[in-house]
Structure 1
Amino acid sequence: GDDKQMLSLSGETLHMIQKEQLLASQGLIVAQHHVKEVVPEIPGLTLKRREKYGDSFLSFYKRTAYSV
């Protein structure tokens, strides 16, 4: 059904942003996606907050702070 199509355009986009290092160190990504869309964890990005609006989520990501 349609659920297979819900696999993650947001996830692909977040992965590309992280891979190409497009997010500034203090930057914030706000991703809108359907509640049924499966957004995988992206290494290097940390989900800070998620808010539900109707059939959509707004997910807020920041770069992961690594201890040195």
Structure 2
Amino acid sequence: SFDSAHALEHLWALYMGRRLTAVIQEILVDKTLLRATHTMKLILRAKLWEDEYKACKEELTDRSPSRLQL
């Protein structure tokens, strides 16, 4: 779930630019994790579906301002 259309657009831009997998890999896989799992290498792959992206974007766009405030 995303709080803003801007965050969703940024994520989609990373994915379309083929940079999302590298970003996720860099954030989640570190030496501590590799040591803890006795693993030499762990490769992650990110996959986003365009129909889900569009549905999420539509939902964020359709929200009224009062629903966005806590």
Larger RCO: 1 or 2 (CA < 8 Å, sep 6+)? 2
Structure 2 length-normalised TM: 0.27
Q: Specify which structure has the higher proportion of strand.
A: 1
Structure 1 length-normalised TM: 0.27
Compare CA radii of gyration and give the structure with the larger one.
2
Q: Specify which structure has the higher proportion of helix.
A: 2
